[in-house]
Every structure is written in C-alpha cells, then in structure tokens.
Amino acid sequence: MNDEIQHLLSLLEKATTEMLSYGEESTFSYFDTCEDVGLFIQNIVNKIRSGEIEEFSKLWYIFTPTGVWDDSGGSQKIANEIFEILNKKYQPDKEN
C-alpha cells in the first residue's frame, strides 16, 4: 500500500479508537451509538487491509462535513484530515 493509504488507515484507526472510547453514547445519525460508528469504521479498515480498497468510498458519508462523524461528536481535526483525502480520491459513485 502506498504512503497516502497508510496515512489514511492510521487516521482511521485513531477515529475508531475515539468512537469506541465514547461507547454507548447516542449519535444523531443512523447509527445508534458511537461504538457502532467505531465498529463500522474498524470493519471497513479491516476490509481495506485485505485489499478491498473500494471500501474507502463508504467512509465518505461518515466524514463528510455535518455527517455521521460530526453527529457523533468526533474530533474536527481528525475528520478534516480524513475527509480531505477521501473527498479527493474516494468519493462514492454519484449514481448509487
């Protein structure tokens, strides 16, 4: 994997840790708890590490401004760094 992907995975691991630390706190999103958000991100990271790079696009909806991450009280700094990379290279297919 290239350096940018490694950097993104590192940021996503920080994001996972942050959400899991909030545990059962509710979110204002389609996830019930912050833990659910963290587990979702962790699952995507595991798939990417197995070579499923297309899974990155699923994270765009999590980190888009005013998206799930913000609705779950996540760190603005982490979200901005992650979204900058995702928005540049891993936007979801607009037809889906």
The reported pTM is: 0.89
* Whether 35 contacts 24, CB under 8 Å: yes
Domain spans of the chain, in order of start: 3-19+32-89
Token output for 49: 């590490």
**For 23, which DSSP code?**
T
pLDDT tens for each residue of 16-70: 999 999 999 998 888 999 999 999 999 999 999 999 988 898 999 899 998 899 9
**For 17, which DSSP code?**
H
